[in-house]
A and B are shown apart, each in its own frame.
Chain A
Amino acid sequence: MKKLLLILMVAGVYVLHQDYWNWKSADLVFGFLPVGLAYHAGFSVVAAIMMAVLVKFAWPKHLEDVQPHDSAEEKTGEERRP
């Protein structure tokens, strides 16, 4: 359920980016900021909030414990010359 909600959240934010309803509007916010610009400035803040939610609920915690692997047979591609 949590996974589904998170996917829906990301998809919803993406849809919000495609604001066709503001396309031809020349309204001003605060008397100087075109609405198309103000909207996307707000969208950037929403994107930051979305990332905060992902960090809170979908953080890959298991990666915090990763340690170097010393096995000689599984060295990086760098040492596997042709």
Chain B
Amino acid sequence: MIPVIVIGVYLAVIAGIGLFAFRRGKSNTEDFFLASRTIGPMVFFLSIFATNMTAFAILGSSGLAYRRGIGIYGLMASSSGFVIPLTIFFIGTRLWALGKRYGHQTQVQFFRDRWECDGIGTVIFALSAAMLIPYMIISIMGGGTVLQEISTPTGTHEPLIHYWLGCAIVAVVVTVNVFFGGMRGTVWVNIFQTILFLCFGFVAMVVISHAFPGGFGEIIGKIAADPKNSFLLTRERMPQTEFWSYTLIPLSSIMFPHMAIMCFSARKVTAFRRTVIIYPIAILLIWLPCIFLGVIGAQMIPGLKDSDGILLRLLNDNAPAWLAGLLGAGIISAVMGSDAHQVLAMSTMFTKDIFTHYGGQEKYGEKAAVHFARAFILVVTVIAYSIALYLKSRQGIFEIAIRFAFSGFAAMAPVMIAALFWKRSTKWGALASTLFVAGTLITFAFLQGSPAPPPVAPGKPAVVAAKMDTATAVKLAASDTNSPVAKVDAMESKGTTNDISKPVAVSVAEVKPAAASAIAAPKPKMNIIWQVGDHVILSRAPATGDVRFWNSSSNPAGGYMTVVPMVFGSALCMIFFSLVTRPPGKKTIDKYFAMPESTAPSAPAAMTGKT
């Protein structure tokens, strides 16, 4: 009960800050959406960091480390610490300058102006909105999970706050904060939240270490000696191609609408200086303890089906109640900090890119635009909440984000880079890139979500066993207790596999021995979707069902993540269609590239700092 009270007080403070900001605000859109572009350096860092840290930075990361080991840090955290500050440095500063000079408040406004085209802005808006919704859902799901776990008394399975109620509480508090406070309220809350969750990891490490007499060294020693878990201390089960692929994912950061909008809100460009330097260290402070504790958790509390809750379990079991509540509030901070910005960004986009752009503000006035924004906040929160409930038992927190938001936004990065640094880029190139991203996103989501194609040996036409449905294949394989399916099912019942390793995808992919005899096909080695000659272009990873690109037939677990063809394909579309179409008008080139004090310098100038 004590942790619930502590978190309750915390949430009340958050809502109160929003209401206080409401009294300081002005009734115009620039103030509501960008706090009148007055965010100072330290607040800017705290806020942009909170914007980017979602539930998975704490819950998803420890949950993944629980299943896959220490490699998760290099896979996601250190690559983010390298790429994200670079994108803020090169892209964020230019966006800020253009916003200051020409009054842009969203990426779409910039794209419309830069490409001299209204339509391209609308297409990019639609794609961005579709990809941002899943990201918002993650935050609400994370909040619901935290409140449920924290409010479950030790030794029982009945929470005081159920998942649906936890999601509702988080959604309501975020809505109150954003609805009344706008960007100002959101940023003020971020100061409090970021400090809280930056302290979270260190405090959690210290508290949990005290609960083990032999210290962490002893537990790590046990993991190393345990054949089932020793892989958690290395990356031996992590394909190097996957590791490399992940370095492209952080390109998504600056393309998320809420991150770009944050860049517009800084008072001066000098606010970016401190941010880009501190950013990798801040990531280190949050991710390192979470990853480490996730691995420790695999040894201490084995067999969790929902491994995203491992950190909360460790805290519940090993920290005093009041401290567990405070640390839970730290996690909630990470959840709500990003969620508030996402909700605000969605509202900003709809208001500026649709309502205002198509004449709403001109017709109904500035105040009406703010009212429209607030009404939209309510609607989008209800939608996100409903989907969060629907998806609870279907996908892990981390995977939703990776599959539908991160890869898509990362693949949109070439459009932004071309807009800022390549004079010859055209709206047709941008349109081709955007449509390519949308197409590949839908295709990969469909391939990943649909039942796997029947397994065939490399080099054979993929029509063998096409008539055997999934259920049959699963039954066949599961009836053989030595089959991989039975083994995977057994692992799943112990919670040792990825949450998304649902029986359908895994079973069919691994159905080899039983199905092979049933269909009289050669013994398959991997699940091929598309093969050209000896080259496997698209396949599906046996363990997770994830679509992989350019795989080796001898290494079924290998191949590149789908973000790789998406990013490079998008870049190629931009280059090709720009070169074969008419260049932008002289007026636009002059505006963006030939000004005396250029706000969009060429790449060499960007590197040297010359004007």
Contacts and interface: CB of A to CB of B under 8 A. Distances in A.
Interface of A: 2-3, 6-7, 10, 13-14, 17-20, 22-26, 28, 31-34, 36-37, 39-41, 43-45, 47-48, 50-52, 54-55, 57-69, 74-78, 80-82
A21 B356 CA distance: 55
B81 A47 contact: yes
Given A13-B82, A45-B281, A66 B359 contact: no
Interface stretch (B89-97, B162-170, B482-490): B89-97
B279 interface: yes
A30 B234 CA distance: 16
A17 B78 contact: yes
Secondary structure of the B side of the interface? helix
A55 B276 contact: yes
B17 to A, nearest CB: 30
A63 B280 CA distance: 24
Nearest to A25: B234
Contact of A33 (B230, B278, B292, B357): B292
Given A26-B233, A36-B234, A47 B606 contact: no
22 contacts: A2-B608, A6-B607, A17-B78, A18-B240, A19-B74, A23-B236, A24-B234, A26-B234, A32-B217, A40-B73, A41-B284, A48-B280, A54-B86, A55-B277, A60-B609, A61-B611, A63-B97, A64-B269, A77-B108, A77-B109, A78-B112, A82-B118
Given A48-B278, A58-B607, A76-B102, A63 B244 contact: no
Interface in B63-81: 70-71, 73-74, 77-79, 81
B352 A44 contact: no
A63 B94 contact: yes
Contacts of B273: 55, 59
B220 A34 contact: yes
Given A43-B81, A63-B94, A66-B100, 10 more contacts: A17-B82, A18-B244, A26-B224, A41-B78, A48-B280, A51-B280, A58-B608, A60-B605, A60-B609, A67-B101
A76 B103 contact: yes
A39 B77 CA distance: 12
B358 interface: yes
Given A24-B234, A40-B77, A59 B104 contact: no
B247 A37 contact: no
Nearest to B246: A17
Secondary structure of the A side of the interface? helix
A47 B82 contact: yes
Contact of A44 (B89, B284, B599): B284
A57 B606 CA distance: 11
Contacts of A33: 292
Interface in B451-498: none
A47 B118 contact: no
Contacts of A23: 234-236, 240
A28 B270 CA distance: 41
B534 interface: no
Contacts of A7: 607
B288 interface: yes
A82 B273 CA distance: 39
A50 B112 CA distance: 34
A45 B598 CA distance: 33
Contacts of B102: 69, 74-76
Given A20-B240, A63-B269, A76-B104, A51 B220 contact: no
Quick one: which of B102, B109, B216 has the most chain A CB within 10 A? B102
Quick one: which of B70, B97, B101, B609 has the most chain A CB within 10 A? B609
A18 to B, nearest CB: 6
Interface in B349-364: 352-353, 356-359
Given A17-B79, A55-B276, A48 B281 contact: yes
B315 to A, nearest CB: 20
Interface string B594-606: 0001110100111
B281 A63 contact: no
A77 to B, nearest CB: 3
Interface string B306-342: 0000000000000000000000000000000000000
B291 interface: yes
B31 interface: no
A24 to B, nearest CB: 5
Interface in B255-281: 268-270, 273, 276-281
Contacts of A64: 268-270
Contacts of A10: 86
Contact of A62 (B103, B243, B268, B597): B597
Given A47-B280, A48-B278, A74 B591 contact: yes
B590 to A, nearest CB: 10
B608 A51 contact: no
Contact of A47 (B85, B96, B598, B601): B85
B606 A60 contact: yes
B24 to A, nearest CB: 23
A23 B233 CA distance: 10
A62 B79 CA distance: 29
Given A26-B234, A61-B609, A80 B78 contact: no
Nearest to A22: B235
Contacts of A51: 85-86, 89, 276-277, 279-280
Quick one: which of A3, A23, A44, A48 has the most chain B CB within 10 A? A44
A76 B288 contact: no
Nearest to B269: A63
A45 B276 CA distance: 12
